[in-house]
Amino acid sequence: MNDLITLYAGSYNADTGNITISKDNLVSLEQQLKACIEVGLFNTNNYLECKEKNIDYLYSFFEIEQGNIMYKQKESYKLIYDPQNERAIKTGRETGYVKIPDLNVKNELLLLINYYSFYKEFGMALMKVNKNFFIDLDKYNFEINSYFQNYGGNTFLNK
């Protein structure tokens, strides 16, 4: 979002009141929005897979460091006391606890909806301006809707 603010601030002409953004900057912004959607889908899918297979979960995210967007991962888990479990930690302070994947799926999906909505509006506006520009809304719509159908039975994107 910081890049978006910088992009608009650098593109605003105070004399005319217009915002002029280069094609390269628009394509870059579209790619960043796609990356946010892809990471959200990846986190949700990876969480569900790790939970099902009972394996360690890495949370993926973007962080801005010195003006650059960096892709990062960190282990994300909750500890549940279950000393009989074969995956229970055997030594140290957490002996007897089992790591289970931790992700607030509801929040992750709501964040994903926000990214998708912005991407959709942005893409529709670009397609009106440039007929050669195309974004694949159906791909993300299908994937996001499938998560909502599996976790609550509602299809929010079609409302």
Residue 142 maps to a domain = yes
The mean pLDDT value of the chain amounts to 74
Residue 8 maps to a domain = no
Q: What single string gives the DSSP state of each residue in 41-75?
A: HHHHHHHHHHHHHT---EEEEEEEETTEEEEEEEE
Residue 17 maps to a domain = no
Residue 37 maps to a domain = yes
Domain that holds residue 66: 22-150
- In the chain, the number of structural domains is 1
Per-residue pLDDT, 153: 43
pLDDT tens-place values along the chain, 159 residues long: 445 555 555 666 677 766 666 667 777 777 777 888 888 888 877 887 777 787 777 888 777 777 777 788 888 788 888 888 887 888 888 888 888 777 777 777 778 888 888 888 877 777 777 777 777 777 777 777 776 666 554 444 444
Residue 9 maps to a domain = no
